[in-house]
Amino acid sequence: MNTAVPDPQIEQYLLSLGAHLAPMTLAEREDTLREIAAHIQDSMAESGESVATVIARLGSPEDLAPQYKEGLILRRASRSFSPLLLLRATLRYASKGVVGGLAFFLGLLGYAAAAGFVLTALMKPMFPTQTGAWVANGHLFFFGTMLYPPQPPAHDVLGWWYTPIALAIGSLFGVITTFAIRAFLRLSRGWQNRLVSDRHTALSRAI
């Protein structure tokens, strides 16, 4: 595709938009600007409208740039294994509705559970009489680390097996939470892309 944009109004719009696209990389900014330039030119060709009209309907660079920056964060997060980045991306949806808030809460809960199991696994060698899977009267009543060792008839049924089992459970919680958040973000990106596509279509067809 020819990326040259001869019209000075389009050049100025793209220049202003590019200034608002930090912290995108240079390649990401160029891809975004090519997409916007192509959309402007296609809209002009299909509708016969002027450059000023198409640009006005796109919105100001200050309003348009955050949509693309948010899309970039979601795209990066949906491919990441970093809990911090995944929770940060999910938190953006928490302010937009109940579904986003629920996803953030469940993600936070999942990672907290994972960290808790791993932490107690590491505490078993330091506090062996206070950490374990405690059973009393045939029922499990505590799994983890207690402030004081429980009194009989309560007893630890796992012994030193507690450490690898707790590590495995913690890792499982972490993996499940990570892939659940990534799936949520991919779905959210799909919805967002459809909304942006519908918006562009509506703009190009508007009279």
Predicted pLDDT of residue 157: 92
Task: Please state, rounded to an integer, the average pLDDT across all residues of the chain.
Answer: 83
pLDDT band at 192 (very low <50, low <70, confident <90, very high): low
Q: What is the pLDDT of residues 15-32, one digit of tens each?
A: 888 888 877 788 888 888
Q: What is the pLDDT of residues 89-101, one digit of tens each?
A: 888 777 777 888 8
| pLDDT (mean) for 172-178 | 96
pLDDT band at 189 (very low <50, low <70, confident <90, very high): low
Structure tokens at 147: 């402030």
CB 141 within 8 A of CB 133: no
pTM metric for this prediction: 0.63
Predicted pLDDT of residue 135: 93
> Residue 21: what are its φ and ψ, rounded to 5°?
-95, 5
Predicted pLDDT of residue 3: 46
Predicted pLDDT of residue 174: 96
Structure tokens at 142: 């505590």
| pLDDT (mean) for 135-159 | 89
In whole angstroms, what is the distance from residue 166 CA to residue 144 CA?
8
| pLDDT (mean) for 136-147 | 88
Predicted pLDDT of residue 2: 44
Residue 207: pLDDT above 50? Answer: no
Amino acid at 27: A
| pLDDT (mean) for 30-57 | 85
pLDDT band at 159 (very low <50, low <70, confident <90, very high): very high
Range with the poorest average pLDDT among 56-60, 62-66, 70-74 = 70-74
| Residues 6+ positions from 175 with CB-CB distance below 8 Å | none
The larger pLDDT score, comparing residue 138 to residue 195, is at 138
CB 9 within 8 A of CB 53: no
Task: Output the CA–CA distances (angstroms, integers) from residue 167 to 115, 121, 123, 160, in the order listed.
Answer: 9, 6, 11, 12
